[in-house]
């Protein structure tokens, strides 16, 4: 089938030769398929597969798509790395805002492509390691046990994220992704003076881009989570915005 892009009028802009549509209309057409369907058919693998499947069913109602029957469920394994920008607030009789902190995160993600909706939906599981270190100036009225000018917190944790992903295909090489999921955190440190941190949970959502199903970038937001022990006199509010880069090690 003939499909070409070419420069027109001294390379001022690009035009397309869509002769493949006429070829399909002349040679691979059926009375159940309208001309308008063919005239707007994109030159993309998924769209062409759908068209030829419809044509084969039109010619033979008992036709079975061998591509679907041979297709295996797909798993992707990604290495991830990125940057976190985190904020932390304590509340009791007053509000204590810690300094925003920027840190690195590393992790791995397993993705399972769900066997429906043309590979647009997937289930994901990601684990990542992150740190948060910050300080705030406090007075004796807020932390009566300490007569200090600064109060510091070091929070090291592993996130376990479970979620759903939806893809929006731009072409055969590029796609937009959107995530939503649940995140449970395992605390690895207890170095926050008298305030004990503990395991916690929250929700996340993100949007990103993948190229060649190999390279990816995502902006993700983890909404408020409580990181202090339940016996703490304070209520905490920990939030994180992340930029995450991913590399696909293999798929199956």
Res 6: pLDDT: 66
Q: Which residue has the tokens 């994180």?
A: 240
pTM of the model: 0.66
Does the pLDDT value for residue 201 go beyond 50?
Answer: yes
In whole angstroms, what separates CA 145 from the centre of its chain?
Answer: 44
> Over the chain, what is the mean pLDDT?
83
Token pair of 151 as six digits: 């109060």
Kind of pairing, strands 13-17 and 74-91? unpaired
218 or 154, higher pLDDT: 218
134 or 158, higher pLDDT: 158
225 or 199, higher pLDDT: 225
- Residue-wise pLDDT tens digits, 125-140: 999 999 998 887 665 5
Does the pLDDT value for residue 147 go beyond 50?
Answer: no
In the chain, where are the structural domains located? 4-70, 74-251
CB crowding 110-137: b at 16 or more within 10 Å, else e? ebebeeeeebbebebebebebbbbbebe
Range list of β-strands (E), the chain: 4-8, 13-17, 74-91, 95-97, 101-113, 121-137, 150-169, 174-187, 200-211, 215-225, 235-251
**Other Cβ atoms within 10 Å of 49 Cβ, number:** 14
Give every CB contact of residue 113 below 8 A, 6+ residues apart in sequence: 73, 74, 75, 76, 119, 121, 122
Angstrom distance (rounded) from CA 250 to CA 214: 9
What CATH architecture does domain 74-251 belong to? Beta Barrel (2.40)
Radius of gyration of the chain from its Cα atoms, rounded to whole angstroms: 26
Res 49: pLDDT: 83
- Residue-wise pLDDT tens digits, 34-58: 878 888 888 888 788 888 888 888 8
Q: pLDDT-based confidence at 169, cuts 50/70/90? A: very high
The phi and psi torsions of 104 (rounded to 5 degrees) equal -95, 155
Give every CB contact of residue 249 below 8 A, 6+ residues apart in sequence: 77, 78, 79
């Amino acid at each position: 089938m003939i499909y070409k892009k070419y420069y027109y009028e001294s390379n001022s802009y690009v035009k397309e030769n869509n002769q493949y549509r006429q070829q399909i209309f002349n040679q691979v057409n059926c009375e159940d398929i309208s001309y308008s369907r063919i005239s707007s058919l994109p030159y993309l693998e998924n769209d062409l597969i759908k068209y030829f499947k419809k044509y084969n069913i039109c010619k033979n109602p008992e036709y079975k798509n061998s591509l679907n029957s041979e297709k295996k469920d797909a798993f992707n394994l990604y290495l991830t790395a990125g940057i976190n920008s985190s904020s932390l607030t304590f509340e009791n009789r007053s509000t204590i805002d810690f300094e925003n902190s920027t840190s690195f995160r590393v992790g791995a993600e397993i993705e399972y492509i769900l066997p429906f909706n043309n590979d647009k939906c997937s289930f994901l599981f990601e684990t990542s390691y992150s740190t948060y270190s910050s300080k705030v100036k406090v007075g004796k009225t807020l932390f009566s046990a300490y007569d200090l000018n600064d109060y510091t917190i070091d929070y090291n944790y592993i996130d376990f994220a479970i979620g759903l992903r939806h893809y929006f295909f731009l072409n055969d090489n590029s796609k937009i992704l959107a995530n939503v999921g649940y995140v449970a955190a395992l605390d690895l440190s207890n170095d926050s003076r008298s305030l004990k941190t503990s395991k916690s949970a929250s929700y996340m959502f993100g949007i990103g881009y993948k190229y060649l199903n190999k390279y990816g970038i995502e902006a993700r937001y983890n909404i408020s989570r409580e990181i202090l022990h339940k016996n703490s006199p304070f209520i905490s509010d920990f939030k994180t915005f992340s930029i995450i880069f991913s590399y696909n090690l293999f798929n199956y």
